[in-house]
Structure 1
Amino acid sequence: MAREVTDFNGIIIYRQDYRERDLLVKMLTDKIGPAMFFVKGAKKRGFRLAADILPFTHGSYIGSLADDGLSFINVASETHQYRNIIADISKNAYATYILSLVDHAFPDGRSIGGWFNQVAAALERIDQGVDEQVIANVIEIQLLTMFGVAPNWDRCVVCGQDQGPLDFSEESGGMLCSRHWYLDPRRLHLDRRTVYFLQRLAHANLQQVRKISIKPVTKRRIQAVLDTIYNDQVGLKLKSKHFIDEMHRWEQKMGNLSTND
């Protein structure tokens, strides 16, 4: 087991009780990806790092990192919470889902390259008020490769055509141009606007994004595509995603009741 004391940036994913006074804290780090930290005495009154290990906290830390087993935190500095995410149920739900997706996509104790900055930017944009569903869609579509699914969004997988109407085929693993639609009668029959935004989201750098505006009907279609892929090809069923789906069903039900009134 390799272990070193170093400085690192981290985002708290979740925490759980461990024994009477201690906590296990799952954190996404820029050095070794997801890692579980043992925090001794964390539940004691007046614990010095109490505010630094709350969920949705992003900060700089010094500690002992292990690529196998538990890591430890010694010092925290320049930590801050995403307060708007904490206060808003929808933002909170999508941020939780993003962190859970990332936690499942990467093994603990391994470098994740630029993904730490992309996730940090995702939470920052949600906290700033950018559409949380669209931000989550960016993470969903870009994480597919890490789950062993790599759709070609930009051109026909058969001939390479990137102009004209394209449609997504699960069977073919990407887009088909109109000349090759006959190869998959069960393709998703997407409209051009949905295809356009799927292509944009697949390449979006959230560190550079300041605003995203997508019509509700297109958002629903994008989500339907991603849900289909995650259900059929990834097979990942997260509690955080189930909560989001239930939240939307409830909102739709309330909207229907208001319309009927």
Structure 2
Amino acid sequence: MLYRVKGIVIRSMDYGEGNKIITLCTETHGKIGVMARGAKKLKSRHGAITQPFTYGEFVFYRQNGGLGSLNQGEIIESHFSLRSDLLLAAYASYACELLDRSLHDEEVGTFWFTQLKACLEGLTAGKDQQIVIHLFEIKILQASGYGPSFEACVSCGSLEESTRVSPLLGGRLCQRCRHHDHGAITISPGTLRLLSLFEKMDMRRLGNIEVKETTKEELKKVMRAFMDTQLSLNLKSRHFLDQMEKYEI
């Protein structure tokens, strides 16, 4: 069967002497693997379309739910700047690997695609990389069924003000419920407001916002705890990103 889909290359790996296997996050068919024959060759017509982070329209033949075979492709947005800057490439790779590991094959959901597309666009547009990535992490948690609750107490639903958050229980704890997790993290009111905003915000609505470095450090600590506790994914791209951030500092 012949498919024509819009998708983003979230993984690209060499296969054999001249071929590549790419993994696409598509708008309509979930995550799909496609073989691009000859894509490694210098004059290949598939060379550009199979680059990581590329958003394009892909036409491929696929039979009985196996690996597709790429017939042709048209680039909509190459995201070249994400591949030419090492730090941006690290952030984009983390976003793509995070989605790849969270999304099952052919798990259909336009939400996954739109949020990744907006994430890569935000990085390309020069928005604060750390803010973009932390918002994307929350969207991944929500789409995976582990969305945190920062607006109300995750235990009793109270709207009482509190700055204690529990990665283990999945959100904010009020004063009366803080005993449910003695390992909960105390954060500043500013970080809590930002997390509450992220909980409700779509990636496509993120503008250019300025956040203090102290707030970003606290935000990273909290989101790292939520990601490790709720998803427990060992991602190579995150280890590399950590090293890059240390180098940048």
Q: Deviations over 1:137-170 (max 9, x none)?
A: 1111121244453332220123322242242123
Amino acid at match of 2:186: H
Give the residue type in structure 1 aligned to 2:105: D
SS at 1:8 equivalent: strand
Aligned to 1:240: 237
Q: 1:218 to 1:147 in 2, by over 3 A?
A: same
Corresponding residue number in structure 2 for 1:11: 8
Residue in structure 1 matching 2:127, options 130, 143, 154: 130
- Per-residue deviation at 1:242? 0.3
Q: Which residue of 1 aligns with 2:61?
A: 64
- Bigger mean CA offset, 147-156 vs 187-196: 147-156
State yes or no: 1:53 paired with 2:50. Answer: yes
1:36 — aligned with what? 33
Structure 1: which amino acid aligns with 2:83? I
Residues 120 and 237 of structure 1: CA distance in aligned 2, closer, same or farther (over 3 Å): same
Among candidates 104, 107, 115, match of residue 104 of structure 2: 107
Q: Which residue of 2 aligns with 1:210?
A: 207
Confirm or deny that 1:94 pairs with 2:94. no
RMSD: 2.0
Quote the residue 2:187 is aligned against. 190
Query: Residue 131 of structure 1 contacts residue 212 of structure 1 at CA under 8 Å; is this kept in 2?
Result: yes
Counterpart selection for 1:77 from 59, 66, 74 = 74
So what's the TM-score if we normalise by structure 1?
A: 0.87
Check whether the contact 2:54–2:75 (CA below 8 A) recurs between aligned residues: no
* Higher mean C-alpha deviation, range 80-89 or range 233-242: 80-89
Contact residue 8 and residue 30 of structure 1 kept, 8 A: yes
- Structure 2: any 5+ residue segments left out of the alignment? none
CA distance in 1, matches of 2:156, 2:66: 48
User: What displacement does 1:107 show?
Assistant: 0.9
Partners of 1:71 and 1:94 lie apart in 2 by 28
Unaligned residue ranges in structure 1 (runs of 5+): 253-261
What whole-Å deviation, never above 9, does each CA across 1:202-252 have from its counterpart, x for those lacking one? 222122223122111111111111111222332111010001111222334
**Higher CA-based Rg:** 1
Instruction: Work out whether residues 67 and 109 of structure 1, in 8 Å CA contact, stay in contact via their aligned partners in 2.
Output: no
Structure 2 residue corresponding to 1:156, chosen from 124, 135, 153: 153
User: Out of 18, 23, 28, which is 1:26 matched to?
Assistant: 23
Matched residue, 2:167: 170
How many residues get paired?
249
